[in-house]
Structure 1
Amino acid sequence: MDRNLLITGAAGYIGGSILADFITRTTGPFSRANISAAVRSEAQVESLANLGINVVLVDLSDEASVTEVVLRNEIDIVLHTASSHDPNVASYLIKALGQRRKATGNETFFVHTSGSTAFAPEAGWPSGEMKDTDPIFETEKQLAANHPIRLTDIQVIEEGKTQGVTTLIVVAPAVYGRGTGQCKNMSIAFPIFIRSSIKDKLVHQFDKNGNPAAVHISDMTALYGLLVEKILQEEAIPNGEKGYYFAVAHKVYCWDLMQGFAERLHLLGLVAEPKTRTWPSDEMAAESLGVPPFIARVMGTHSTELVPVNAYEVGWRPHWNEKMLLESLGQEIQDVLEVDNIKVAS
């Protein structure tokens, strides 16, 4: 049976890379999938128009528009990469899938992209190792405390139960590497630090060495591919309250990352020293990075002890590791220079 798949955020970094990967899969389970891409501007429609897929312009904050798109295009599976922190958008999409399920009698699926910063001790999460097979949902409900990512995860699972929609939550850590989408190809995790360093002519680090989780964009898209393959093949996989998938390939020490940026930026003449300095205060860091002080500190110091079990049980085998990440920092810098049109003297 053919299934109709909608990717939200299809012009973004993660969503665009997933889309680029999926449209190359012309055999096997994906041969039975009809792909639609949701975007938010006419310019994005034009950018994706040559891919041979159904591109839909939709305001995801408008429930009526979301419902119309899902029902008119007979969507059975939604991969939601557009927002990890808006419960309303997730709810609108799941409600529409619920209507689709009632109309056809067929199972519908909502695969949500969450974020690992909600699972850091600095954000109130319990310290210590946690597997994606542990009672994550119960812990999120206890600690929601107006944290938008946790509140959205809770909404996804509870609305899925109400509507009879099968839900899965992919928890994304720091994602890096050159994307393959039509619009945004640059990683989200590291450019903030690179741009701040170029602006300040110095690379700074915090007084605490964080150890966050990370994953290369190609490994991230591979996990989504595996999950959708299982869905298309009608295989039973963990879902609902047990359907968390930690997309953690490896971890990285923040001080090693910043030192790597310092050495490479100095070779390019973009910073004054091939070594890091410590931020004098969180407020100065926040001003340079362009985020609130609390967010700046979490970005630069948080550690997560997230262990992927469900992800591996569906067959995920990430290729990239910390060593490969540190060796690729030059490309992360080049991507920023290219996008920002910064010329470097040869």
Structure 2
Amino acid sequence: MGQNILITGAAGYIGGSVLADFISRTNGLIKAENISAAVRSEDQVQALSKLGVNVIQVDLRNEAAVNEAVLRNEIDVVVHTASAIESRIVSHLIKALDQRRKASGEEVVFIHSSVTALFATEGGWTHGEVKDTDQIFEMEKQIGDSHPVRETNILVIEQAKAHGVTSLNVVVPTVYGRGRGEWRKLSVSIPAYIRTSIKLKLVYKFDKDSSPPAVHISDLTALYALLVEKILHKEPVPNGENGYYFPMAHRAPWWDVMELLAEGLHARGLVLEPKAQIWPSDEMAAEELGFPLLYIRAMCTATGELVPINAYRLGWQPKWDLERFLGSMDDEIEAVQELDKVKPTVFDAILPFSNS
């Protein structure tokens, strides 16, 4: 019998795509019968129930419910995509894995999902260029701010170490492409620009250009699968304080993207001008895009000097590059028109205070 894997956020864009990737594999140790998918609602349970995996409706903010779900389903590996900002969810999952470790006597693993915007000046990063092989944990602690994502990154490593749990941190960049999950199929950034542009009849860009790290959703899910396969094979992988992974395939030149969206939307008669305009204010941008005002610059104008090493050393080979990315903007527009049916909830936990 193989080790059991729990994917949190399995109805989300990344989690759902990870789940679809995992269950589509016919070789290796990842097997559908060993996968559990954590979701929030009964509707999501029904949507995922046909996949041949164990679907669990659980409130991850409820410590007792998380502990019961992990122990009852004998979870050995958690792939956590549900939230990068809620430290109590991380704490509940790690503590539950500790209980599972004590019961089984075997290694347990927690794979966290963070965001690359933290490692740019706009995200409070003060150390300049950073490789994922650097001592990032100590660097994050030195910054000492109250950013919820950075606090959660630190908590992952500290609590995992204290509870005998092996931890890894996949630091997610800008993600694009159609998701393969059963519920949410659209990413955050580019679809937000598209739906907002259609609403306002104009495409807006920020007054500062940026080129953040980027990755296609299929390449990102391939990294999660590579990590899990190596864990199931009991191969050594960088973990704990050394277990950061930057899944960066290329950069996303944002002004180029906005101009391509303006051309594509104008050709469809969806906006009035084929050129992008400058946002009148950050406040307007945050309100219209649905992004937290407190982090709007980190999300939309940051570049960062990230250098990915760990994933490539393990054999990760992304199939999407800059040219292919820029050539996919028409498909991004079509995807929003076809698939924009589920309200984004990724910022629900921080929007109330960050926009005040």
Task: Give the alignment's TM-score, normalised by structure 2.
Answer: 0.93
Aligned length: 341
Name the counterpart of 2:80: 80
Contact 2:185/2:339 (8 A) holds in 1? no
The one-letter code sitting in structure 1 at the alignment partner of 2:149 is I
- Structure 1 residue 204: Cα displacement: 1.2
Secondary structure in 1 aligned to 2:181? Answer: coil
Question: Is 1:46 matched up with 2:15?
Answer: no
- Structure 1 residue 192: Cα displacement: 1.1
Q: Percent identity?
A: 59
Contact 2:173/2:248 (8 A) holds in 1? yes
Question: Is 1:200 matched up with 2:200?
Answer: yes
- Over residues 276-309 of structure 1, what are the superposed CA-to-partner deviations in whole Å (9 max), with x where a residue is unaligned? 1112222232232233444333332111221111
Name the counterpart of 2:110: 110
Mapping 1:74-223, distance limit 5 Å: 74-126=74-126, 128-223=128-223
Task: Give the alignment's TM-score, normalised by structure 1.
Answer: 0.95
Name the counterpart of 1:303: 303
- Structure 1 residue 127: Cα displacement: 5.5
The one-letter code sitting in structure 2 at the alignment partner of 1:178 is R
Contact 2:118/2:298 (8 A) holds in 1? no
Contact 1:245/1:308 (8 A) holds in 2? yes
Given the superposition, is the C-alpha separation of residues 314 and 188 from structure 1 closer, same or farther in structure 2, using an over 3 Å criterion?
same
CA distance in 2, matches of 1:227, 1:32: 17
The one-letter code sitting in structure 2 at the alignment partner of 1:173 is P
Given the superposition, is the C-alpha separation of residues 292 and 44 from structure 1 closer, same or farther in structure 2, using an over 3 Å criterion?
closer
- Over residues 5-33 of structure 1, what are the superposed CA-to-partner deviations in whole Å (9 max), with x where a residue is unaligned? 10001111101111111111233222497
User: Structure 1 stretch 27-36 or stretch 60-69: which is displaced more?
Assistant: 27-36
- Over residues 93-143 of structure 1, what are the superposed CA-to-partner deviations in whole Å (9 max), with x where a residue is unaligned? 000000111111100000001111111210110263211000110111122
The one-letter code sitting in structure 2 at the alignment partner of 1:233 is H
The one-letter code sitting in structure 2 at the alignment partner of 1:262 is A
Contact 1:61/1:89 (8 A) holds in 2? yes
- Structure 1 residue 74: Cα displacement: 0.5
Question: Which runs of no fewer than 5 residues in structure 1 stay unpaired?
Answer: 342-346
CA distance in 1, matches of 2:18, 2:291: 28
Name the counterpart of 1:275: 275
CA distance in 1, matches of 2:81, 2:75: 16
CA distance in 1, matches of 2:32, 2:14: 23
The one-letter code sitting in structure 2 at the alignment partner of 1:110 is F
CA distance in 1, matches of 2:257, 2:55: 38
The one-letter code sitting in structure 1 at the alignment partner of 2:131 is K
- Structure 1 residue 197: Cα displacement: 1.1
Mapping 1:306-325, distance limit 5 Å: 306-325=306-325
Contact 1:209/1:301 (8 A) holds in 2? yes
CA distance in 1, matches of 2:55, 2:261: 38
CA distance in 1, matches of 2:231, 2:32: 11
CA distance in 2, matches of 1:32, 1:197: 40
Contact 1:5/1:33 (8 A) holds in 2? no
Question: Is 1:6 matched up with 2:3?
Answer: no
- Over residues 4-61 of structure 1, what are the superposed CA-to-partner deviations in whole Å (9 max), with x where a residue is unaligned? 1100011111011111111112332224971111111111111111111111110000
CA distance in 1, matches of 2:157, 2:314: 20
Name the counterpart of 1:55: 55
Contact 2:203/2:277 (8 A) holds in 1? yes
Secondary structure in 2 aligned to 1:170? Answer: strand
- Structure 1 residue 340: Cα displacement: 4.5
Given the superposition, is the C-alpha separation of residues 200 and 31 from structure 1 closer, same or farther in structure 2, using an over 3 Å criterion?
closer
Over aligned residue pairs, what C-alpha RMSD do you find? 1.4
Name the counterpart of 1:344: none
- Over residues 148-173 of structure 1, what are the superposed CA-to-partner deviations in whole Å (9 max), with x where a residue is unaligned? 11111111100101110000000000
- Over residues 217-253 of structure 1, what are the superposed CA-to-partner deviations in whole Å (9 max), with x where a residue is unaligned? 0000000010001001000110000000111111011
Contact 1:289/1:296 (8 A) holds in 2? no
CA distance in 1, matches of 2:218, 2:253: 21
CA distance in 2, matches of 1:199, 1:278: 16
CA distance in 1, matches of 2:268, 2:144: 44
Question: Which runs of no fewer than 5 residues in structure 2 stay unpaired?
Answer: 342-356
- Structure 1 residue 64: Cα displacement: 0.2
Name the counterpart of 2:265: 265
Contact 2:22/2:32 (8 A) holds in 1? no
Contact 2:9/2:15 (8 A) holds in 1? yes
Contact 1:204/1:277 (8 A) holds in 2? yes
The one-letter code sitting in structure 2 at the alignment partner of 1:83 is S
Name the counterpart of 2:351: none
CA distance in 1, matches of 2:86, 2:291: 19
